[in-house]
Structure 1
Amino acid sequence: MLTLAMIVKNESEKLGRCLESVRSIVDEIVVVDTGSVDDTKKIASAYGARVFDFQWVNDFSAARNFALEQCEGDWILVLDADDRIIKASRKEIDDFITNNNSLGRIRITNSFDYDGELRESEANVTRLFPKGLFYTGKIHEQIVSDLPRKNVPIYVYHDGYYKSDKYKRNIKMLELELDEYPDDNYLLYQLGKEYRIIKDFINAEAYLSRCYSGITDIDGYKPQLIIECLYTMLGVGNFEEGLVLIEREARLLSDFPDFYFVSGLFYMELVFSDINKYMRYFPLIEKSYLKCLSIGDTDKYESVKGTGTFLATYNLAVFYETTGDLNKARKYYELSAQYNYKLARKRFEILSG
């Protein structure tokens, strides 16, 4: 028996969309409401959910663990109201449960705003597991288990952070938890990441630097930490330390397109910050984006869609245009436009005018 477990609050606009996408896959739906004043509970009941109330205590794990306790299924799938399943097969889920003594990581596409442009990132997140486990962490909660984690073919789209103010809420909760666990590297990473998203690069650098000083290569989020550090160093203009970081971590991230993508941005900003001093790094801009394209988009890491394809191709075209090589610029704008990237199509039309 497979149970869907959810915690919700005032999600009447999105909950029905989520439940409709999953209703044919699960045997039971458990919805824990943390204080809705809209039609959230009514919508959940209409989809046959067992609905429970839980008083919000500023702790996502507490609410999720209460939801897990109400589940009757042997296995549990966790989703949020602003998730919706894009692709999944009950047969493939059952095969995974039967043949793997492991937890299931589903593939989540997250939409976010990047300087007014809709972009998407993809990550494998543990959301399918046997009954009896529990969460820890007041926010960005993690399931506790020593079992291995393997990818299961469940694909989900999440749009809860697109043009939202949840980042400020997250920062407050993370800071409270960090007061309790001041040396927790994962909390430092998440807090630095939240500050970087809202472009508070000073605070972001402080937390990310503390995290980096204590992280090891076996920590699964180290690749993402390095990416966050580089974008933050770009934000504050910390070029010298950024150069050291790129050189130090290049071997670890040799198959990560996002690393070469941010490296290309870094080298470009570096060179134009002082052309005479940094001109020797100019060829590395082109080299970085070509490396992105040689790797392509990947599902190994949490990655922004397009860093190995159309975004790298677009930035490479911009590079060629700024150097006056318009033939190559048109070529790469056209290649990027083939992915329906509007900025590339617009620029290609201008240059082909």
Structure 2
Amino acid sequence: MGKRLSLIMIVKNEAVLLQRCLESAAKYVNEIVIVDTGSTDHTKEIALAFNATVYDYGWNNDFSAARNFALDRSTSDWNLVLDADEFISNDCAEAIRDFIENKEAIGKIKRVDKFSGPDGINYEQIYISRLFPSSCRYSGKIHEQIISDLPRVIIDVEIQHDGYFHQSKNERNIPILLEVIKENPLDPYFHFQIAKEYRGLERQEEALAHLKIAYTNMTHQESYAPSIIVNLIYAIIATGQLGEGIQIIDRELEFLNEYPDFFFVSALYLLELISSDPEQYGGLVSLIEKYYKKALEIGDNGREGSVLGTGSYATLHNLGVFYEVTGRMVEAKDCYAQAAEMNYPPSIERLAGMQ
């Protein structure tokens, strides 16, 4: 017979996205449990069309409570948790079945987050605990975590996530995060999370303030520590408060020696710093090329929180721009050509303009 697997979701007004999610996941599970926190659209009808069991739940600003309510209604040995703005993008039937039949662990799946950046659409990859035995439950009002002593194992399941394009969710999350921060004023995780919400709303000063607190209070042992540092440098650039950036970069060079994103953003920062005061900082120009080359040397290595392209096409393009501005046209064209071969639109356009 084999072990049973349930898909567990909490939803509200997800009629636009829910079908895509359920179509991607239904074939892998024995049961679909959906908890609705107050939909006024056709969310429930879509869920019922997939033979889901649907429960109503009064929303109380506590994601763990809602998720645990859903988990309590699962009748399976294992649970897979997805949100409506996510969908499975690889063929993972064998990986899931092998894991739940043979492992006593929590499965971490790769999520690729799509978001808008200064250079267009970007994709960031993280690994999240979403496949686990039925005994596991969540803790935390927001950005909730599975509480368990079981080992966490990365499995070959990949989901795409485009919820960061739906900014209303950012507005919803901020009051909950502020409440949690009041209870845990020095916890770097929640300051990091609220900074991401503020960044999504382009409230850069507030994002920077919380990233500074997160950076000051982190231990460097956190899985998200590299992302705090990288996001802090981006926030420093976005606000124009360039003063502390150079010390942060120097301090973290060794710690982030294998993170292409760090060298990518460090090069961007140096460009801003030099432009702000060429006389004082002009001597740092050579570091821009050095950092971009270091990012390419590392490559897109799939590290937690890494943005796709910072070890390849995005860096090649930026290095091309650097060479072009400094009059090294042969090297510029070579960089653009390499990025164009990876179908990077800005490089394809730039090459066409140089013919």
Is TM more than 0.5 here?
Answer: yes
Q: Which residue of 1 aligns with 2:65?
A: 62
SS of equivalent residue, structure 1 residue 240: coil
Q: What letter corresponds to residue 273 of structure 1 in structure 2?
A: S
**Alpha-carbon shift at residue 46 of structure 1 (Å):** 0.9
Q: Is residue 277 of structure 2 the alignment partner of residue 264 of structure 1?
A: no
Cα separation, 2, equivalents of 1:158 and 1:267: 31
Over residues 244-300 of structure 1, what are the superposed CA-to-partner deviations in whole Å (9 max), with x where a residue is unaligned? Answer: 111111111111111111011011111111111111211111111111111111222
Q: Is the 8 A contact 1:113 1:163 kept in 2?
A: no
Matching residue within 286, 307, 317 for 1:314: 317
Matched, 1:132 2:135: yes
State the match for 2:349 in structure 1.
346
- What letter is aligned with 1:138? K
Question: Which 4+ residue blocks in structure 1 deviate beyond 6 angstroms?
Answer: none
SS at match of 2:186: coil
Q: Relative to 1, partners in 2 of residues 1:14 and 1:151: Cα closer, same or farther, differing over 3 Å? A: same
Q: In the aligned structure 1, how far is the partner of 2:267 from the partner of 2:248?
A: 14
Q: CA deviation at 1:90?
A: 2.2
Instruction: Give, as a single letter, the amino acid of the residue that structure 2 aligns with 1:120.
Output: Y
For the 8 Å contact 1:314–1:333, the answer to whether it is kept is yes
The aligned residue for residue 221 of structure 1 is 224
Q: What is residue 235 of structure 1 aligned with on the other side?
A: 238
1:164 corresponds to which of 167, 172, 189:
167
**Number of equivalent positions:** 352
Map 1:166-205 onto structure 2 (within 5 A): 166-205=169-208
Corresponding residue of 1:109: 112
Please give the alpha-carbon distance, in whole angstroms, between the structure 1 residues aligned to 2:217 and 2:104: 31
Shift of 1:190: 1.0
Deviation at 1:103, TM superposition (A): 1.0
The amino acid across from 1:333 in the alignment is: Y
After the TM superposition, which of the residue ranges 220-229 and 134-143 deviates more from structure 2? 134-143
The answer to which of 65-74 and 179-188 deviates more is: 179-188
Q: Tell which deviates more after alignment, 160-169 or 46-55.
A: 160-169
Retained in 2: the 8 A contact 1:122–1:302?
A: yes
Aligned residue type for 2:170: Y
Matching residue within 22, 25, 32 for 1:29: 32
Q: In the aligned structure 2, how far is the partner of 1:73 from the partner of 1:103?
A: 15
Q: Which residue of 2 aligns with 1:249?
A: 252
Q: Paired residue for 1:293, among 266, 291, 296?
A: 296
Rounded to whole Å, the distance in 1 between the matches of 2:55 and 2:97 is: 27
Deviation at 1:116, TM superposition (A): 7.4
What is the CA RMSD across the aligned residues, in angstroms? 1.5
**What is the alpha-carbon distance in structure 1 between the residues aligned to residue 157 and residue 219 of structure 2?**
30
Give me the whole-angstrom Cα distance separating, in 1, the residues matched to 2:253 and 2:118.
28
Tell me, yes or no, if the aligned pair for 1:4 and 1:76 is still in contact at 8 Å.
Answer: yes
1:51 is aligned to 54
Equivalent residue number for residue 95 of structure 1: 98
Q: What amino acid sits opposite 1:54 in the alignment?
A: Y
Contact 2:8 2:70 in 1 (8 A): yes
Scaled by the length of structure 2, the TM-score of the pair is: 0.95
Identity %: 43
Q: Which amino acid aligns with 1:42?
A: E
Contact 2:21–2:84 at 8 Å: present in 1 too? yes
Q: TM-score, normalised by structure 1?
A: 0.96
Structure 2: unaligned runs, 5 residues or longer? none
Change in CA separation of 1:283 and 1:99 when aligned onto 2, cut-off 3 Å: farther
Aligned partner of 1:154 among 154, 157, 161 = 157
After superposition, give the CA deviation of every residue in 1:167-210 in whole Å (9 maximum; x if it has no partner).
22222221122223223221111112222333323222221111
Greater CA deviation, 161-170 or 256-265? 161-170
Aligned position for 1:14: 17
Give how far 1:33 is off: 0.5
Q: What is the aligned partner in structure 1 of residue 214 from structure 2?
A: 211
For residues 152-176 of structure 1, what are the alpha-carbon distances to aligned partners after superposition, in whole Å with 9 as ceiling and x for unaligned?
A: 1111111122253322222222112
1:238–1:207 distance in 2 versus 1, CA, 3 Å: same
